[in-house]
Amino acid sequence: MTTTTTENRSFEADVSRLLHMMVHSVYSDRDVFLRELISNAADACEKLRYEAIARPELIGEDPRLAITIAADAEAGTLSIADNGIGMTRDEMIEALGTIARSGTRAFMDRVEAAQGKEGAQLIGQFGVGFYSAFMVAGQVEVVSRHAGSEEAWRWSSDGKGEFSVAPAALEEAPARGTRVTLSLLDDAKSYAERWTLERIVKAQSGHVPVPISLVEKPGAEATSLADGAALWTRPKSEIKPEDYADFYRSVAGQYDEPAATIHFRAEGRHEYTALAFVPGGKPFDLFDADRKGRMKLYVKRVFITDEAELLPRYLRFVRGLVDTADLPLNVSREMIQDSPLLGAIKKGVTSRILTDLGKLAEQDGEAFTGIWENFGPVIKEGLYEDFERREQLLGLARFKTTTSGESWRSLKDYVAALKENQTAIYYIAGDDPARIAASPQLEGFRARGIEVLLLSDPVDSFWVSNAPDHDGKPFKSVTQGAADLGLIPLLDGEAKPQLETSAEVTALLSVMKQTLAAEVEDVRASDRLTDSAVCLVATDKGPDRQFERLLSAAGRLDGAAKPVLEVNPQHDLIIRLAGSQDEPLRSDIAHLLLDEARILDGERPSDAKAFSDRLTRLIAKGLA
């Protein structure tokens, strides 16, 4: 026989400890209580929708499922009501009286046992989200009437150990469904204010599958906060570009037009929908040190977090969301990114974005160029970090080169233009595009029409040192090791190597090597110089010149290796110096030539005073 009096019960758990954990440990943001209660209300509506398939009378004359939020700032209360399935007395005791026993979970088990995984799409899984209400409320009251029932029940608790269940007058209860009323704590009264509620609903629950309206104060007209329709769930053919643009601005918090929109639904082992945007301009936080992504995670259209790693960090400029039904909303939603399912989703979304960018590059080079100019330096971080997708990223990469002028070149373009006997992809790295384009190390390559990649982004030295090759062609720095250009014909068709070094110049190089032994590893004749007298290159082993500078600046290199001084044996200054017998003069010029090479490499003379003294002596000798 059903009781008609108030009945006090103890929670079936150590509720004081557990609620304390819920309030202070499980959730890091108090705003989530509203998300949880709206999720419960949406579940109740979804349960009714499913039950009404077999029992249409449950819907009755109220077929429009809805969630209503009612605020009363003067009374300090907030209520969340739905016209879903509602609860019986026993269901209320079981669902609300036992921590972590979820009616949703039990219902899902019954549905799946009956027909597998088809059926109702339910949000909650573990039955603890309801108790987040005690983060903001000193008293919580739940009044519910099960669909088709002539009885209504009231559940009430302060969350400190006991709850009460009593009959509720039908005139005080919903015609169908549940109303949760919170008596807000003194420091939570802002949750009865319109702007706070609008902000939370639009940010966290604006796309649940049930319309949400707000009654700002008792007696006021209800206004719509969410229409129950999610843009990303609609067929792409029904969505206009301006719809995508408006949604992009709302989800990204930016005011430009998206440069690319990627919208797809994945089916198979894992099912999810992704809607991603590449911004039209650089976000202000593009180079933040934490390199966090800005993709939002939804589960069944309920916002979970914007801190899940849904994309690798080199795609952190992408804005948008992923909505999945495969991930459960468990007791620790803030840690949901630990789910292995999320890793599979991350892999799928990343691959699709890169694939679509590749298609854009082929179909609309101008549009892709705009994306690359904004985000190329960030995408290239993936060449260093993402070995699995390196070839795909190399296919997307665009470069300025010694022959491209202001245009961008792909590696496919580069390989197609290889010169006869050219077996490597040549590059030069530095921090100043104009300076590296004028580097003396490029002279021999220009004389042969060999294209050289000009790499001026800080990340370039890192990725290129870890990318062994592309299309079977190794990457080779023009500032490291021997150039080995003798087999590549000059532009005038001459295939023979440079002229033979004279005995006098060979002797000079030997003297210079002894003179500069403390500062250089070697002094040798160069086949990469055509106009300049000297240049510096790194040895065959270890990093190239730019990478070495970066490692030294970062404190990751104990001491820089001594460079190699390459000398142009056909340069007039070198030939005349080889014929001089003035040893002090030859010593001064040898040091000045080394300092000249340093300056051309973007460095300073190692000893400014000694440099000045040598230059003064040389000027004085010239004026004598």
Feature table: binding site for ATP: 36, 40, 82, 87, 102-103, 125-130, 178, 333
Instruction: Give the Cα separation of 228 and 230 in Å (integer).
Output: 7
| CA 314 and chain centroid, separation | 6
Instruction: Give the Cα separation of 258 and 344 in Å (integer).
Output: 26
- Which of left, alpha, beta for 236 (phi over 0: left; psi -120 to 50: alpha)? alpha
Binding residues: 36, 40, 82, 87, 102-103, 125-130, 178, 333
Instruction: Give the Cα separation of 521 and 562 in Å (integer).
Output: 5
Instruction: Give the Cα separation of 376 and 453 in Å (integer).
Output: 15
Determine phi and psi for 401, rounding to 5 degrees.
-135, 175
Q: What is the 3-state secondary structure (H, E, C) of 336-388?
A: HHHCHHHHHHHHHHHHHHHHHHHHHHHHCHHHHHHHHHHHHHHHCHHHHHCHH
* List of long-range contacts for 391-396, beta carbons under 8 Å, 24+ apart: 391/470, 392/354, 392/355, 392/358, 393/354, 394/467, 394/470, 395/358, 396/354, 396/357, 396/358, 396/361, 396/372
Angle among Cα 96, 15, 29 to the nearest 5 degrees reads 80
Angle between helices 103-115 and 89-97 (to 10 degrees): 110
Tokens for 259, please give them: 């440069």
- Which of left, alpha, beta for 159 (phi over 0: left; psi -120 to 50: alpha)? left
- Contact 115/104 with Cβ under 8 angstroms? no
| CA 147 and chain centroid, separation | 45
Instruction: Give the Cα separation of 24 and 33 in Å (integer).
Output: 13
Virtual CA dihedral for 187, 302, 228, 204, nearest 10 degrees?
40
Instruction: Give the Cα separation of 405 and 407 in Å (integer).
Output: 6
Residue type, 80: I
